[in-house]
Amino acid sequence: MTSSLDISPTQSVTGLEALFAPRAVAVVGASSTPGKLGAVMAQAVASYDAPIALVNPRGEDMHPSIGAAADALDSPIDLAILCVPASVTAETLRAAAAAGVQAALVCAGGFAEAGGPGVQYQQDVIDAVRETGIRVLGPNTSGFFAPHRGLRASFVPGVSAISPGPVGVISSSGGVNHAVSFRLQQAGVGVSLGVGLGAGIDVTAPDVIDHLAADPHTTAIALHIETVTDGPRMMDAIRRATRVKPVVALVIGQNDVAEFAQSHTGALATSWRTSRSVLRQSGAVLVNDETELVDAVTALARTRIHAHPAPGIGLITGQAGPGLIIADQLAGAAVAVPRLSEATTATLSTLLPPLTFQGNPVDTGRPGPEFPDVVRAVAEDPAIQAVGLYGILEPVVDLPAAVTAAGIENTPALIAVDGPAPEVASVVADGAQRDLPVVTGPTALARGLTALVRDAQAQHGLGHPLVAAPAIETGDGPWDEAEAKDLFEAAGIPVPTRARATTHEAARTAFADLNKPVAVKLVDAAVLHKTEIGGVHLGIATESQLDEALAALDRAGAKEYLLEEMASSGIDLVVGARRDPVFGPVVLLGLGGTAAEALADVALRAAPMTEGATESMIEELAGKALLRGWRGGPAVDTGQLARILATLGATLTADTGISEIEINPLRLTGSGLIALDAVIVANGTSVEED
């Protein structure tokens, strides 16, 4: 079913061919002593079909230097595997580069992650890379393996058992690289390339993504991320790759594991929520654990739904109980399992017993010889973009053969089975021969189908044009709330009718001209969260209430006052834009008000935003129903909301002197959206948290 993949990879030069497909390899620090790193790595690469040079000036029958090894071999040494201490790594890299070596694998630890002198050792390596141009994978990594080429540059036992397959694995951790690859082997999928980045001081995830995007052996990429150092580079690499093959990402850091992470591969430098949101926006499918990662790439490596905003899944099962598990999980993931058309159900009624459910899911009961016709009927329904099939193995039906016989080459299909392990393995292997993905169990099927849908939705989103929105002309700060609202109003963002006053008398005069009740606030650019110090008084309807409010504001330190007409009741949102240290300008939408941080119900996107991004942000919110006219309440105008978000993002993009803009709350009323507070923060300003 390769036609649904729409993958036409072409090999291009990414700069990593010398690392992953070297013409010759040198193991520097090789050893004949069993158990030593130099001995383990020498044995690991011994089966590679290219010249291998063992380098150790004290080793018997070994080359005394990498230069001597380069002179002795007929083929150029492209890759040096360094099994030397951190303290001499930099000088060894320089010697390798001088001998014509283009890439190096540095396995050793003891660099910046260890502190002390390791920090300088790492800087020395960075300097050597910069000066020589040699590409370095690591340090502090267990290596990589390219089963299609027979190259296994890893000190982890058992990597020889990982067979060639269509999935490229990129991991911040060498351990996770191997763990996921072993699981892909057990799932009958295999690996095209498995890479543990380690410290990633030179070769990074975007480099390997670009390499795998052009690799003809790879049809899907599994990505494990602990930290991102160059957000725009990562986003660009994922966008390029997902045009031709899917990328599935597992981002670590939801919980506070920073202390462990610093001792492992360095600090968790990026926000988990921001990283996930931006990678999804760039086209990646996001998963929550390594099992879901394997299920997702197992499906996506062999089939792919074309770009679609809301793909419909047709579910066919021979057992109602497992079918309900699958349908329930798809519903929880907001994956559509639409009711089949009358024409489809009429066809199914001629193929299936009358007591079976023939809507969707389709419960076939004990499958019979008409099963391929059932699959074809469901796949051809106009509401269906992919088909999922589940069955407990029994001799009456061969699921891969039935799907092949159905002739549904233009509709992706994912099969799940359960049964004795040898029989399951046989079906998985048969599916691979037919280019059909096969997983084990109802949950794996639901996860795989969800991944297919998420990938199609991501590709659909990437095809949209940018939202046109002008940047706010901010001028020079600092900006208090009144000034910020003037700027917002000039940019077309609705704000309340208001007046600014410097004296009690001016406040009373302004009060007389405003519709009651009003809000009375302290005006001070240095106070970002006025509620905490008693700087906001609401519902002021009489002059006596105004006098009391002004006196209270004076006690809070007010020098000026802002009076504004109060908006009608509605749903309070928070919108904003901030300059993320990794990804640059990022916009935020969530449920707002004073409980915004406690709720933490937010969605994020990198600026600039595309059309349709606002709708997808709303869909990510747990409280999305509140924006859809909940119980007769107001429904958000997504066009207006998109323009506000895009304007905030455009402002940060255009003005590098601003670090953050926030409207909290942005109230959704029957008349539309209105900004009830406004904050603009210049770079270098400390933002106090509520």
pLDDT (mean) for 555-563: 94
Q: What are the tens digits of pLDDT across the range 206-232?
A: 999 999 999 999 999 999 999 898 999
Alpha helices, DSSP H only, in 476-542?
Answer: 481-490, 504-513
d(CA 497, CA 676): 10
Tally of helices (H runs) and strands (E runs) in the chain: 23, 27
Domain match, 632 and 644 both: yes
What's the mean pLDDT when you consider all of the chain?
A: 91
Find the domain containing 547 and state its range: 497-565
Domain match, 360 and 443 both: yes
pLDDT (mean) for 231-256: 92
Specify the 3-state DSSP secondary structure of 391.
strand
Other beta carbons within 10 Å of 680: 26
Q: List the strands of the sheet with 313-317, edge to edge.
A: 362-363, 313-317, 386-392, 413-418, 438-440
From the list 474, 482, 484, the residue with the least C-alpha distance to 498 is: 482
In a domain, 476, yes or no: no
Q: Which of 439, 463, 487 is the last residue of a domain?
A: 463
d(CA 439, CA 294): 10
Tokens of residue 317, six digits: 């099962």
Q: Residue 187, by phi and psi: left (phi above 0), alpha (psi -120 to 50) or beta?
A: alpha
Q: pTM for this structure?
A: 0.90
Q: Which of 140, 173, 198 is the last residue of a domain?
A: 140
pLDDT at 10 over 60: no
d(CA 102, CA 77): 8
d(CA 459, CA 385): 14
In a domain, 606, yes or no: yes
Q: Return the pLDDT at 262.
A: 35
Amino acid letter, residue 458: A
CATH code of the domain containing 510? 3.30.1490.20
CATH code of the domain containing 21? 3.40.50.720
Residue count of the chain: 690
d(CA 316, CA 158): 38
Domain match, 160 and 133 both: no
In a domain, 597, yes or no: yes
Classify strands 561-565 and 658-669 as parallel, antiparallel or unpaired.
unpaired
pLDDT at 405 over 60: yes
In a domain, 220, yes or no: yes
From the list 409, 326, 309, the residue with the least C-alpha distance to 362 is: 326
Tokens of residue 342, six digits: 């009358």
What are the residues whose beta carbons fall under 8 Å from the beta carbon of 176, sequence distance 6 or more? 196, 224, 290
From the list 159, 279, 141, 166, the residue with the least C-alpha distance to 223 is: 279
Other beta carbons within 10 Å of 348: 24
Q: How far is CA 507 from CA 63, 520, 523, in A?
A: 88, 9, 13
Domain match, 307 and 297 both: no
Q: Which residue has the higher pLDDT, 69 or 319?
A: 69
Domain match, 554 and 584 both: no
d(CA 662, CA 34): 61
In a domain, 609, yes or no: yes
Domain match, 585 and 536 both: no
Q: Residue 535, by phi and psi: left (phi above 0), alpha (psi -120 to 50) or beta?
A: alpha
* 107 φ/ψ angles, rounded to the nearest 5 degrees: -85, -30
d(CA 577, CA 491): 15
Q: Would you place residue 260 in the very low, low, confident or very high pLDDT band (cuts 50, 70, 90)?
A: very low
Q: What are the tens digits of pLDDT across the range 73-128?
A: 999 999 999 999 999 999 999 999 999 999 999 999 999 999 999 999 999 999 99
Q: What are the tens digits of pLDDT across the range 344-403?
A: 999 999 999 887 788 899 999 877 889 999 999 999 999 999 999 999 998 778 999 999
Classify strands 285-287 and 247-251 as parallel, antiparallel or unpaired.
parallel
Domain match, 457 and 591 both: no
In a domain, 170, yes or no: yes
Q: Would you place residue 176 in the very low, low, confident or very high pLDDT band (cuts 50, 70, 90)?
A: very high
- Is there a cis peptide before residue 665, judged by omega within 30 degrees of 0? yes
Domain match, 379 and 519 both: no
CATH code of the domain containing 151? 3.40.50.261
d(CA 408, CA 386): 10
Domain match, 351 and 432 both: yes
What percent of the chain shows pLDDT beyond 70? 94
Assess contact for 220 and 184: CB atoms under 8 A.
Answer: no
Classify strands 313-317 and 362-363 as parallel, antiparallel or unpaired.
parallel
Domain match, 279 and 416 both: no
Domain match, 123 and 146 both: no
Q: What are the tens digits of pLDDT across the range 435-474?
A: 999 999 999 999 999 999 999 999 999 989 999 898 999 9
Domain match, 548 and 408 both: no
d(CA 226, CA 261): 8
In a domain, 489, yes or no: no
Give bridge partners of residue 104 from the DSSP assignment: 80, 136
What are the residues whose beta carbons fall under 8 Å from the beta carbon of 596, sequence distance 6 or more? 574, 590, 602, 664, 690
In a domain, 669, yes or no: yes
Q: What are the tens digits of pLDDT across the range 560-612?
A: 999 999 999 999 999 999 998 899 999 999 998 766 666 678 899 999 999 99
| Domain count across the chain | 5
Q: Which of 539, 565, 591 is the last residue of a domain?
A: 565
Tokens of residue 567, six digits: 């908006």
From the list 72, 83, 121, 78, the residue with the least C-alpha distance to 96 is: 78
Q: What are the tens digits of pLDDT across the range 636-677?
A: 999 999 999 999 999 999 999 999 999 999 999 999 999 999
